[in-house]
Amino acid sequence: MVSGTGRGFGSAPLQKHKTLGARGRDNLVTMKKGLTILIFIITSTTLLSQPTETEFYQSTDNIKTTSGLEGYKDKYRLNKNYEELLNLGVVQTNWSIVKGRKLLQTRLLTLSVDGQIFYSEFYIPKISENFDSWTYDKIHTNVDSLRLTNLKSLSHADNISINFEHMERHPYRSTFGYACGAAGTMPEEGQMMLQLVKNNDTSSLAKWLESINPMKQVYSYLGLKLLQATDSIQLTDDTIKEMTELENSSTLVYSCSGCTFWEHLPVKEHLTPEKVTRFIERRKKIE
């Protein structure tokens, strides 16, 4: 009786302990579910409050000035890399994009007059399979039609063509030079000009001569001079007039020579008779 009573007495607390444990587990499961829902809500709210890249691109469409882009503060930040002065008072600005501490592959190009943006383009530079050239995927573009129309009215008077494809994009920069770097070769645009000359592509060279990008104009000048020197073309009076204007142009272009010289110089300093003649003679020997 004593032992039976002892076993009976001892079993009751054990059963009660098991019952409390089950309730505890149920409460724990409920708490976990509640915490999961709470975390989901907080995470979703945070993600929704952060602009996606597409929303970021669209939000910059409402910013009409380069100073406004510099002051843009959000999850994304725009860093001005450099500016180039083009014809008609247009300024090309190239930007890199940072999200948090991460530098994005996507880049931004803007064209403006007096700080007022009339063209913007987000793009992704991609290197070729042979690692010898770059292509560009445009992600988002925006054009202020009114400002562009007003600018085009001026461009017709000056025989200038506004071609957005004439802008250099990352990682290149519009640079003029007869012999740059350790290899002593022309920069990217110069190599393109030499290929146009090789193909006798006078149509493209003529478009370059009227480009809003003065660098394209300088290379076009040399390309046409090369073709003229080999009796491949006859220059028209209008073309000769445009080339003469370039010879006297004080427009500054980013320039290189060798490995150490990188400065802005007037176009006319590059197109002196001595330098042009020396360039033509050197190309004749190479060809």
Is the model's pLDDT at 8 over the cut of 60? no
Burial of 65 (0-12, 13-18, 19+ CB in 10 A): middle
- Residue 252 CA to residue 91 CA, distance in Å, equals 12
The 3-state DSSP class for residue 71 equals coil
Are 74 and 88 within 8 A, CB to CB? no
- Residue 48 CA to residue 102 CA, distance in Å, equals 20
Query: Which tokens hold the place of 190?
Result: 């110069």
Q: Which pairing describes strands 116-127 and 102-113: parallel, antiparallel, or unpaired?
A: antiparallel
pLDDT reported for residue 53: 87
Least confident of 29-38, 157-166, 248-257: 29-38
pLDDT reported for residue 35: 58
pLDDT reported for residue 18: 45
Is the model's pLDDT at 99 over the cut of 90? yes
pLDDT reported for residue 287: 75
What is the reported pTM? Answer: 0.79
pLDDT reported for residue 22: 59
Confidence band for 21, pLDDT divided at 50, 70 and 90: low
Is the model's pLDDT at 49 over the cut of 50? no
